[in-house]
Amino acid sequence: MIHRNIGEMVIAPLAVARTGYDKGLSSNKSIASSTECYLMDLKSIKTEEDVVEALKRKTQFEKDVLVVTFRIPKGKISTYKRIAEKIGKPKAYRAVANALHKNPLWPVVPCHRVVCSDGSFGGPKKGAKTRRNSVAKEGIPIENDKVNISSEILY
């Protein structure tokens, strides 16, 4: 997902414009209903309730994932599997990764603090490098391009 920072505001596209005809679907969704772009003031998001309100158009699963991720303090990390367990869906760790990939509230919801169970940074190399640099700046120990996971830093 592409986010554009404009000072303290973020423009986050939520969907790509599509019509039902380009996929051979019988119903034709209007571009207006299938496309959404919104402007939000990230500085106004301070609490879990603010996060939930900002995510009102997301699924319950996505809200749950992003709220748990919002709770991860600076200097700590979690894994996709641990997030899945915390929301009561222990086998949904890949879905957790997908929900975090679509996080419209970064950096308020710190998805860069969630890694694979082996400490690696999943996804494309460029994104992995950015997340690795972000957690390293927060004091998370990195060895061989992986987080050195310990009980002291695990949320």
Separation of alpha carbons 25 and 30, rounded Å: 13
What's the burial of 68, exposed, middle or buried (CB within 10 Å: 0-12/13-18/19+)? buried
- In the chain, the domains with their CATH numbers are 1-44 (no CATH), 46-155 (1.10.10.10)
Dump pLDDT digits (tens) for 4-22: 554 555 544 443 333 333 3
| 101-121: pLDDT as tens digits | 999 999 999 999 999 999 999
The predicted model gives 42-64 an average pLDDT of 95
Residue 111 appears among annotated catalytic residues: yes
The whole model's pTM is what? 0.75
Residue tagged active-site, from 111, 114, 115, 147: 111
Report the first-to-last Cα separation within the chain, whole angstroms: 25
Instruction: Output the CA–CA distances (angstroms, integers) from residue 106 to 22, 24, 69, 82, 124, in the order listed.
Output: 31, 35, 11, 20, 17
